Chains A and B, each alone.
Chain A
Amino acid sequence: QKEVEQNSGPLSVPEGAIASLNCTYSDRVSQSFFWYRQYSGKSPELIMSIYSNGDKEDGRFTAQLNKASQYVSLLIRDSQPSDSATYLCAVNGAKGSGNTGKLIFGQGTTLQVKP
Chain B
Amino acid sequence: EAQVTQNPRYLITVTGKKLTVTCSQNMNHEYMSWYRQDPGLGLRQIYYSMNVEVTDKGDVPEGYKVSRKEKRNFPLILESPSPNQTSLYFCASSRTDREDGYTFGSGTRLTVV
Partner-B contacts on A (CB < 8 A): 31-32, 34, 36, 42-46, 49, 51, 88, 90, 92, 95, 100-108
Contact = CB atoms under 8 A, between A and B. Distances in A.
B49 interface: yes
A106 B41 CA distance: 9
B42 A106 contact: yes
A44 B106 CA distance: 9
Given A31-B98, A101-B50, A101-B56, A88 B43 contact: yes
A104 B45 contact: yes
Contact of B97 (A34, A44, A101): A101
Chain B interface size, as a band, is: 20 to 34
B33 interface: yes
Given A43-B104, A107-B42, A102 B58 contact: yes
A107 B41 CA distance: 6
B43 A105 contact: yes
Chain A to chain B: the 8 pairs with minimum beta-carbon distance, closest first: A107-B42, A43-B104, A105-B43, A34-B101, A46-B101, A101-B48, A101-B97, A100-B97
7 contacts: A43-B107, A95-B97, A102-B45, A102-B56, A102-B58, A105-B43, A105-B44
A45 B98 CA distance: 17
A73 B103 CA distance: 21
B105 interface: yes
Given A43-B104, A43-B105, A49-B100, A101 B42 contact: no
Interface centre among A34, A100, A103, A104 (most CB of B within 10 A): A103
Nearest to B107: A43
Contact of B104 (A45, A100, A107): A45
